[in-house]
């Protein structure tokens, strides 16, 4: 009985130490979540303005000849199978609940539906996704690890520069950004947004998102030229889309981590209560046994 009591007591001590760790990790994730949410609020205004400009350029038909002039024409796309690429955003670490598995599962379903058995490429932001698709034997043509807890615009600019360079070189014909959109601290939803080329589908995808689009006139007098305006606006649009997706994904990651650690702490509390009850019952049983033995001994001596 003594060994059993010591074993239970050891498990209680061990579980309490685990609870201290999960409590600390929950607080860290919560702090990161609060920080990135403040950052996202200031970014949303910029993103809204950029999306507004691109949407209204589309309404003014300034974008109509864009894909033909870039070498990715609609006629070419119809005459051959499109080579698709998917920029999939996951975390670099574990302890984030179901976050990574949700992104990968939903992305796989989207890829299966969109590409089927056709060739496609994976562009992985985050080590978890990169490791998964490499292990599965997929073509991971680009990976970026170590995104900051609150990503900077310069980090994303590196990613966008590489991705657009791959597109311009003809390594793929279209690119989708796949990530978990933050709804609230308990809910996130998968999104797959078309990033390249900036065509009707990409514009419709941008228009359907939650960022408020500012009302603007659809009529433009373009100075000095349409091409020079597009050369400035479209790279900013691409950076804005990817940066927004990574910010959104990181927000979901921190929320998922906080929720997972809270759940682990709650489970630890339940286990500690159960073990303490088990310990007290075993201790009472041991005391009762000792009293019975003493009483029995006294009765034997009295006879």
Q: How far is CA 12 from its chain centroid?
A: 35
**The pLDDT value given to residue 297:** 63
Reported pTM: 0.79
Helix (H) or strand (E) holding 122: strand 120-125
Q: Which domains, and CATH codes, for the chain? A: 2-17+264-302 (1.10.287), 24-260 (3.40.1380.10)
**The pLDDT value given to residue 267:** 92
**The pLDDT value given to residue 209:** 63
Distance CA 5, CA 196 (A): 64
Distance CA 133, CA 126 (A): 11
**The pLDDT value given to residue 270:** 92
Q: Sheet harboring 84-89: ordered strands across?
A: 140-144, 120-125, 84-89, 174-182, 188-196
Q: What is the 3-state secondary structure (H, E, C) of 145-201?
A: CCCCCCCCHHHHHHHHHHHHHHHHCCCCCEEEEEEEEECCCCCEEEEEEEEECCCHH
Q: Which residues pair with 192 in a beta bridge?
A: 178
List pLDDT tens digits, range 177-189: 999 998 888 888 9
Going residue by residue through the chain (303 aa), what tens digit of pLDDT does each one get?
455 788 888 888 999 999 999 999 999 999 999 989 888 887 877 777 777 777 777 666 666 555 554 545 444 445 567 899 999 999 998 888 899 999 999 999 999 998 887 889 999 999 999 999 999 999 999 999 999 998 888 888 889 889 988 998 999 999 999 999 988 888 889 999 888 887 777 777 666 665 555 555 545 555 666 667 676 777 788 888 888 889 999 999 999 999 999 989 999 999 999 988 988 888 888 788 777 767 766 666 665
**The pLDDT value given to residue 278:** 87
Read off φ and ψ for residue 239, nearest 5 degrees: -60, -40
| DSSP code at position 209 | S
């Amino acid at each position: 009985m003594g060994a059993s009591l010591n074993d239970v007591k050891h498990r209680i001590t061990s579980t309490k130490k685990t609870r201290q760790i999960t409590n600390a990790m929950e607080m860290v994730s919560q702090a990161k979540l609060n920080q990135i949410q403040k950052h996202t609020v200031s970014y949303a205004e910029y993103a809204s303005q950029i999306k507004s400009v691109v949407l209204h350029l589309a309404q003014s038909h300034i974008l109509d000849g864009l894909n033909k002039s870039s070498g990715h024409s609609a006629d070419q796309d119809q005459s051959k199978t499109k080579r698709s690429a998917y920029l999939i955003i996951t975390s670099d670490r574990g302890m984030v609940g179901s976050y990574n598995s949700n992104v990968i599962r939903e992305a796989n379903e989207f890829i299966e539906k969109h590409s089927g058995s056709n060739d496609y490429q994976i562009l992985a932001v985050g080590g978890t996704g990169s490791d998964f698709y490499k292990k599965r034997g997929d073509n991971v043509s680009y990976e970026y690890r170590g995104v900051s807890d609150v990503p900077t615009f310069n980090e994303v600019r590196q990613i966008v520069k590489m991705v657009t360079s791959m597109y311009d070189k003809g390594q793929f014909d279209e690119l989708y950004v796949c990530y978990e959109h933050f709804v609230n601290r308990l809910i996130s939803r998968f999104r797959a947004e078309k990033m390249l080329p900036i065509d009707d589908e990409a514009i419709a995808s941008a228009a359907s998102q939650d960022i408020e689009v500012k009302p603007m006139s659809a009529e433009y007098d373009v100075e000095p030229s349409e091409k020079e305006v597009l050369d400035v606006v479209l790279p900013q649009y691409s950076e804005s889309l990817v940066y927004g997706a990574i910010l959104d994904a990181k927000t979901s990651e921190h929320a998922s981590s906080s929720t997972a650690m809270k759940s682990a702490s709650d489970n630890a509390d339940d286990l500690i209560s159960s073990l303490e009850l088990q310990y007290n019952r075993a201790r009472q049983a041991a005391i009762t046994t000792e009293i019975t033995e003493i009483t029995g001994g006294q009765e034997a001596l009295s006879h």
